[in-house]
Amino acid sequence: MITPQLIKPKSIAVVGASDNLGKPGGKVLYNIKNGNFDGELYAVNPKHERIQGVPTFKSISDLPQTDLAILAIPAKLSLPAVKGLLEEKGTKAVIVLSAGFSEMGPMGRKMEQEMSRLAERHQATLIGPNCIGVMNPYHQSVFISPVPEMEWGGAALVSSSGATSVFILESALSKGLAFSSIFSVGNGGHTCVDDVLEYLNDTYEHGRSPQSILIYIESIRKPQLLLRSARELVAKGCRIAAVKSGISDAGGRAAASHTGAMLNSDMAVDALFRKAGIIRCNSRSELTAMGALFQHPRLKGKRIAIITHAGGPGVMLTDLLSTGGMEVPRLSDELMQGLREELFEGASTANPIDILATGTAEQLERCITFCEGLDTIDGMVVIFGSPGLFSNIDVYRVIREQQNICRKPVYTILPSILNAKEEMDQFVQAGGVLFDDEYLLGNALLSESRYVAPVTEMEGVRLKNAEKISELLKGRKGLVDIRTGFELLDLMEVKRPMHLMTSSETEAMDAARKIGFPLVMKVVGPLHKSDVGGVVLDVTTPDAVRTHFSRLIGIKDATGVELCQMERGLELFVGVKKEPCFGHLITCGLGGIFVEILNDIQYALAPVGMSEALQMIRSLKSYKLLQGARGKEGISEEVLADVICKVSGLLTLVPEIEEMDLNPLIGHGRHLSAVDVVIRMGGAQ
Amino acid sequence: MITPQLIKPKSIAVVGASDNLGKPGGKVLYNIKNGNFDGELYAVNPKHERIQGVPTFKSISDLPQTDLAILAIPAKLSLPAVKGLLEEKGTKAVIVLSAGFSEMGPMGRKMEQEMSRLAERHQATLIGPNCIGVMNPYHQSVFISPVPEMEWGGAALVSSSGATSVFILESALSKGLAFSSIFSVGNGGHTCVDDVLEYLNDTYEHGRSPQSILIYIESIRKPQLLLRSARELVAKGCRIAAVKSGISDAGGRAAASHTGAMLNSDMAVDALFRKAGIIRCNSRSELTAMGALFQHPRLKGKRIAIITHAGGPGVMLTDLLSTGGMEVPRLSDELMQGLREELFEGASTANPIDILATGTAEQLERCITFCEGLDTIDGMVVIFGSPGLFSNIDVYRVIREQQNICRKPVYTILPSILNAKEEMDQFVQAGGVLFDDEYLLGNALLSESRYVAPVTEMEGVRLKNAEKISELLKGRKGLVDIRTGFELLDLMEVKRPMHLMTSSETEAMDAARKIGFPLVMKVVGPLHKSDVGGVVLDVTTPDAVRTHFSRLIGIKDATGVELCQMERGLELFVGVKKEPCFGHLITCGLGGIFVEILNDIQYALAPVGMSEALQMIRSLKSYKLLQGARGKEGISEEVLADVICKVSGLLTLVPEIEEMDLNPLIGHGRHLSAVDVVIRMGGAQ
């Protein structure tokens, strides 16, 4: 919960204030005092009368009522301070800058938890500990520099690491990004990144709230809250990008299903971000590049005109965009004739439009105006550096003017970080947002062009036999036996081949007669049947049934032999794995080498509806095979999507399912049959 | 050819010199005058007596003998100027800065060619036109800024685009890169990038020549020269990185073979760079990051210790390196105990080693010294920014000191481009090389870690039946008939299945008896047999032979039906495509979906010897299948490599081959048989 006192306090007290600007308690007081805050500002320090000219109190108990308190005192003094503030001073927001809490061990964790409990009890917000603070248009309660002017309409930055948010800020400001608020939540024991997102969503006002949000997050505490808040913000028009770090420890754990072994918690993050409409970035530079993109009008297509005064960067950007799936469409001579006459001889208007090293500000302006009017162009990139002969002031002024006039985005690459440094600084001061490298912009454009808006449906299908299914799986723990599995498939109306279990040669011969040839024989018992040679395909004679039975029943852990109708066609799979807190991940793909050698899988967080299921299927590398390639019949994507939706429906009904494999699903055309099913319920067997 | 007069001229004349530093003719004179050049400097300008204090002549004919001339005059005046200099003034090197030549059309191209011819005739070097010039420790003949101090041992930068080399320079200098020479070759009509590489190789001196070379190249004029020069430089210890731009127009052309359709000229560039030992980059920032890496000692393994005062960037870098195949190995508590005691409470020594926000220069020094001594660590990354509370001068000084002491590379990420700007500038002035973003360094490290040193063997195998093979293919043009193809395979000692051609049902029945069942029937005539349903596998009875024959012979363009022994096992292919100037690209991969759906191919420039062939095979995504996966027998990689080497040997023998497909090659274990062969020779049929 974020209280109004954190956002717009009437009074702020800095506890542990100092005259030394090299200390957090000195710097934070300085920043507040010299920032936008216009309420009552107090300092607390037992040794001074007045600090930085601010009324100073010997202790917290001496303070008048205080809305927001900032603690810059050692960890062990923080807990009593928080207690005093909340209980005696009516404080509703506390920012604890100090480190030395849960990151230091059990002692610190205890103190941190106690502070959280106090905040909870008093319905106050606790930010930190171990953070740099909060800034917004009302106050700059941070102990760091730089302290940029906070602008309504600028981006919000929410970070779980203090130092990282400083570095992000430095990278962002040098690109000209504007911010409206910065929340550094530190350890986030009480207020985590997810809570801030909820707040931004709950208080969202069109035209005033941030139109873009940049997130650095180390651990997602409340995935479902993040999901809901981000989805709603995105639906309101907000653009969100995030770095989730700490992926390399996303190791595999023991799993009972193939799916369980394939999916890890980092994939759950991926799936969550996709479903929420958050663009995932891998680094500070990617995040701030995405932020810079967000401060332009939204690109409404994939067709880019590049206007440059230097060939090289234009060609490199064209390479990157074209190979990444965007377009730098050739502009015909006829179309461009009018423009051509206004440029110097030798200029190229084919796109990239190269106005030559000697190109002028006026020519650039004409090019931008011209492209703004072209139906075949969705956005422009201007590249303009300097070999150091003359100033670029006029050129950069024209770019700013045109950015304000054009409906299409005009992205700016200014590569001359030394030769045109002053002009670039002025461009930024005039409100411009720039990239100094074409690669960074190009990759950001590609990321946004690949972005798929989250589907609005949040519900999976409702299963027809819901009650019977619940009854069937009720109270089960651990692995579910294959008979129950097949019964479940029948109730879910997922097709499966005719099959019979046998435990003697005679039974096997009888079963073969009933099913008919060709058939499949599988050992029952061992988990990974293929690995122990426990599956025989295409058994075509009674003699073969006899021979294989005697071999299969001899395999370690064998309890019987199953005979099935032989399905023919493509092998697919659909699987489920439950990720703690995140919920169920549903995965699908082609079986065999595709999953085992090429790891060609797609996954999404449940619930998954028809359109999301189709998105998954169409994103498979092997999608062409599903469509029918190389003269072979494919499989209807709707039929596969239907199975995914039914599995999603099952998970809504029976959330206790921990893992599930429908593997293989075999079929062709609109026929798709689950040949095997593995289900593991929560709890030990 | 590059003459000594370009490198170390005794006299330089600037033709078109000016007092206006906003003009190339003014700036280039200024740069030479204020640079290291200590020979005779002249200006040529009809209107002035003395320009920038330099003796000025009215015309070229008035000049004394001049080693190097720089032309900053309009294009149409350049040709007579070059003529005058070469014929009358004994000039052996000319740099033409002016644009307006081949890039402007036929007229300009003619002038450019004429200048080249003149240079050729007089054994002089012509650099440009349309370039920024040349700088090295002897002279700074460029019209741009910045003009960095050229240092022996710094990198060489060779660029075919003037503006791009300025932007590369700006990016590089801000990272602290040192340069020893910069060659901007412009249109490169006479001296292209490849020629400069040849020069750098021919004049290579250990300890004095550049240890690293950065290249920006738009078109590779002399691929074989580039290949040879780069390979030799790399063998001498040089590290080379290059951007080759202009890949997006690498379109497919009409091709007679699958291989021909799959490979394009950009792949030839890839293959060339790999064979040459050049690391390919995609952007300026990647190129300069690689250059920054090159100015550190070579990393001798994949194990990195990260020493940081801020968690976030360390975690992001760990994510990147670990998922990319490098290691940030956990350092055990026992091992690190000694170090732990010297750090503040709460610091982590597990790796990343986090010395906390309050960590000191002394602690950092201890950490670096400690890691330098660890057997389990190959290199270090130090991350140190600033929240703006105090100066980082001491910390950055310690890093520089340690970099000079340590045998292992100590890479430096300094993220505080605003808060620690001054300290970063000082770090660079003290000779430091820095990265401001962990992602850029991480990706550069990964690129170098994936780098495979070029194999030293440059020869393919010699084929046994060389004479007979030459005879067989001599004078052939266009597509080679299948009989000849099979004869060739026999001569090359590449296995193939028994096959018989038939043109009547009776012949087909006879053939089936001779070959035995199962067999394969294929239509002869149509090019893409599978697409027209012209291949039947697994024919097992005489009746089936009869039925299929009558259908196959009825297919459009059918001239007969071929019956083959049915091969079983994995389907592979080996193919060849000739790229103009580059030579032959040899490709291999698994057939079927792997090549058609997943585009899983590897390729190399011929000649390919055994170790390079094995590298290709091991780089396939489907390599695991070759090794034998999922309970199925694989195919000996040596046997496949042997086929590749034989094909390479064939190309040495018969370079007129334009395209070739051995597709499919089917087999298992050490048996591998070419089921079909398509060869297209140069020239029309």
ipTM of the complex: 0.91
CA distance B653 to B473: 10
Measuring CA to CA, which residue among A146, A220, A91 is closest to residue A605? A220
pLDDT for residue A459: 64
Contact between residue A321 and residue A313 where contact means Cβ atoms under 8 Å apart: no
pLDDT for residue B250: 46
Question: What is the 8-class DSSP label of residue B289?
Answer: H
Chain B residues whose CB is inside 8 A of the A414 CB are: none
Side chain identity at residue B565, one-letter code? Q
Measuring CA to CA, which residue among A22, A75, A435 is closest to residue B386? A22
pLDDT for residue A336: 85
Measuring CA to CA, which residue among B246, B553, B252, B294 is closest to residue B448? B294
Contact B388 A439 (CB under 8 A): no
Cis amide prior to B518 (ω within 30 degrees): yes
Asked which of B123-127, B170-174, B537-541 is least confident by mean pLDDT, the reply is: B537-541
Residues 6+ apart with CB under 8 A from B48: B19, B56
Contact B163 A316 (CB under 8 A): no
pLDDT for residue A332: 86
The shortest CB-CB distance from A419 to any of B145, B285, B436 is to B145
Mean pLDDT score, A433-446: 96
Substitution target in A593, A595, A623, A633 with the highest count of B β-carbons within 10 Å is A593
CA distance B221 to B125: 17
Q: How many CB atoms lie within 10 A of CB B647?
A: 27
% chain B with pLDDT above 90: 82
Question: What is the 8-class DSSP label of residue B475?
Answer: T
More reliable by pLDDT, A537 or A71: A71
CA distance A547 to B498: 34
Chain B residues whose CB is inside 8 A of the A283 CB are: 316, 320, 437-439
Contact B624 A597 (CB under 8 A): yes
pLDDT for residue A679: 96
pLDDT of A253 over the 60 cut: no
CA distance A494 to A639: 10
Residue A61, classified by CB atoms within 10 Å of its CB into exposed (0-12), middle (13-18) or buried (19+), is: exposed
Residues 6+ apart with CB under 8 A from A133: A28, A70, A95, A97, A127, A141, A142, A143, A144, A184
pLDDT for residue A531: 81
Tokens of B133: 């010039």
Per-residue confidence at B684, pLDDT binned at 50, 70, 90?
Answer: low
pLDDT for residue B82: 97
Per-residue confidence at A239, pLDDT binned at 50, 70, 90?
Answer: very high
Tell me how long chain A is: 685
CA distance B45 to B62: 11
Side chain identity at residue A232, one-letter code? E
Per-residue confidence at A400, pLDDT binned at 50, 70, 90?
Answer: very high
Residues 6+ apart with CB under 8 A from A336: A349, A350, A353, A370
Measured CA to CA in angstroms, residue A508 lies from A484, A487, A515, A558, A662 at distances of: 21, 21, 10, 15, 25
- Give the count of alpha carbons within 13 A of B430, CB side only: 19
More reliable by pLDDT, B483 or B419: B419
Residues 6+ apart with CB under 8 A from A554: none
Contact A161 B621 (CB under 8 A): no
Per-residue confidence at B251, pLDDT binned at 50, 70, 90?
Answer: very low
Per-residue confidence at B332, pLDDT binned at 50, 70, 90?
Answer: confident
Give pLDDT tens digits for B632-653: 889 999 999 999 999 999 999 9
pLDDT of B459 over the 70 cut: no
Per-residue confidence at A594, pLDDT binned at 50, 70, 90?
Answer: confident
- Please name the residue ranges forming H helices in B376-504: 393-405, 421-429, 438-450, 466-473, 482-492
pLDDT of A532 over the 90 cut: no
Beta strands in B336-409 (DSSP E): 353-354, 379-383
CA distance A667 to A651: 24
Residues 6+ apart with CB under 8 A from B417: A170, A171, A174, B424, B436
The shortest CB-CB distance from A385 to any of B167, B438, B533 is to B167
CA distance A182 to A136: 6
Tokens of B290: 């690689």
Per-residue confidence at A251, pLDDT binned at 50, 70, 90?
Answer: very low
DSSP result, A581-640: TTEEEEEEEE-THHHHTS--EEEEESP--HHHHHHHHHTSTTHHHHH--TT---B-HHHH
CA distance A408 to A38: 39
% chain A with pLDDT above 90: 82
Per-residue confidence at B254, pLDDT binned at 50, 70, 90?
Answer: low
Chain A residues whose CB is inside 8 A of the B173 CB are: 418
Task: Indicate the pairing of strand B601-605 with strand B583-590.
Answer: antiparallel
pLDDT of B255 over the 70 cut: no
pLDDT of B394 over the 90 cut: yes
pLDDT of A184 over the 90 cut: yes
Measuring CA to CA, which residue among A213, A229, A220 is closest to residue A266? A220
Contact B312 A387 (CB under 8 A): no
% chain B with pLDDT above 70: 97
More reliable by pLDDT, A79 or B580: A79
Q: What is the pTM of this model?
A: 0.92
pLDDT of A672 over the 70 cut: yes
pLDDT of B164 over the 60 cut: yes
pLDDT for residue A177: 97
CA distance A554 to A335: 77
Give pLDDT tens digits for B333-352: 888 888 988 999 888 898 99
pLDDT of A685 over the 70 cut: no
Mean pLDDT score, A406-413: 98
DSSP result, B41-109: EEEE-TT-SEETTEEEESSGGGS---SEEEE-S-HHHHHHHHHHHHHHS---EEEE----SGGG-HHHH
CA distance A507 to A285: 66
Side chain identity at residue A204, one-letter code? Y
pLDDT for residue A252: 43
Tell me how long chain B is: 685
The three-state secondary structure class of A143 is coil
The shortest CB-CB distance from A631 to any of B143, B286, B530 is to B530
pLDDT for residue B604: 95
| Chain mean pLDDT for chain A | 93
Mean pLDDT score, A569-580: 93
Measured CA to CA in angstroms, residue B159 lies from B69, B104, B163, B192, B217 at distances of: 20, 20, 9, 9, 6
Give pLDDT tens digits for A107-131: 999 999 999 999 999 999 999 999 9
pLDDT of A526 over the 60 cut: yes
Residue A442, classified by CB atoms within 10 Å of its CB into exposed (0-12), middle (13-18) or buried (19+), is: buried
Scanning every residue of chain B, which has its alpha carbon at the shortest distance from the alpha carbon of A282? B316
Q: Which residues of A344-379 are buried (b: 16+ CB within 10 A; e: fewer)?
A: eebbbbebbbbbbbebbbebbbbbbebbbebeebbb
pLDDT for residue B632: 80
Q: How far is the alpha carbon of B474 from chain A, nearest alpha carbon, in Å?
A: 36
Give pLDDT tens digits for A265-297: 889 999 999 999 999 999 999 999 999 999 999
The shortest CB-CB distance from B283 to any of A282, A309, A439 is to A439
Cis amide prior to A146 (ω within 30 degrees): yes
Q: How far is the alpha carbon of B424 from chain A, nearest alpha carbon, in Å?
A: 14
Asked which of A29-43, B192-206, B511-525 is least confident by mean pLDDT, the reply is: B511-525
Scanning every residue of chain A, which has its alpha carbon at the shortest distance from the alpha carbon of B145? A388
Contact between residue A615 and residue A297 where contact means Cβ atoms under 8 Å apart: no
Q: How far is the alpha carbon of B387 from chain A, nearest alpha carbon, in Å?
A: 5
Residues 6+ apart with CB under 8 A from B339: B349, B353, B366, B367, B370
pLDDT of A150 over the 90 cut: yes
Measured CA to CA in angstroms, residue B292 lies from B176, B241, B305 at distances of: 8, 11, 19
| Tokens 């060739």 sit on residue | B488
CA distance B23 to B14: 13
% chain A with pLDDT above 70: 98
Q: How far is the alpha carbon of B181 from chain A, nearest alpha carbon, in Å?
A: 18
- Give the count of alpha carbons within 13 A of B491, CB side only: 21
pLDDT for residue A265: 84
Domains present along chain A, CATH in parentheses: 4-129 (3.40.50.720), 148-294 (3.40.50.261), 304-432 (3.40.50.261), 498-565 (3.30.1490.20), 570-681 (3.30.470.20)
Scanning every residue of chain A, which has its alpha carbon at the shortest distance from the alpha carbon of B248? A319
Contact between residue B587 and residue B643 where contact means Cβ atoms under 8 Å apart: no
The shortest CB-CB distance from B629 to any of A21, A163, A597 is to A597
Mean pLDDT score, B292-303: 96
More reliable by pLDDT, A207 or B473: B473
Contact between residue A628 and residue A470 where contact means Cβ atoms under 8 Å apart: no
CA distance B87 to B566: 73
CA distance A476 to A322: 53
Chain B residues whose CB is inside 8 A of the A624 CB are: 597
Contact B284 A389 (CB under 8 A): no
CA distance B220 to B160: 10
Number of A–B residue contacts, CB under 8 Å? 256
Give pLDDT tens digits for B536-570: 988 999 999 999 999 999 999 999 999 989 988 89
Tokens of A8: 């717009």
- Give the count of alpha carbons within 13 A of A482, CB side only: 18
Mean pLDDT score, A667-676: 93
pLDDT of A595 over the 50 cut: yes
Mean pLDDT score, A599-614: 93
Q: How far is the alpha carbon of A89 from chain B, nearest alpha carbon, in Å?
A: 30
Q: How many CB atoms lie within 10 A of CB A529?
A: 18
Residue A45, classified by CB atoms within 10 Å of its CB into exposed (0-12), middle (13-18) or buried (19+), is: buried
pLDDT for residue A632: 80
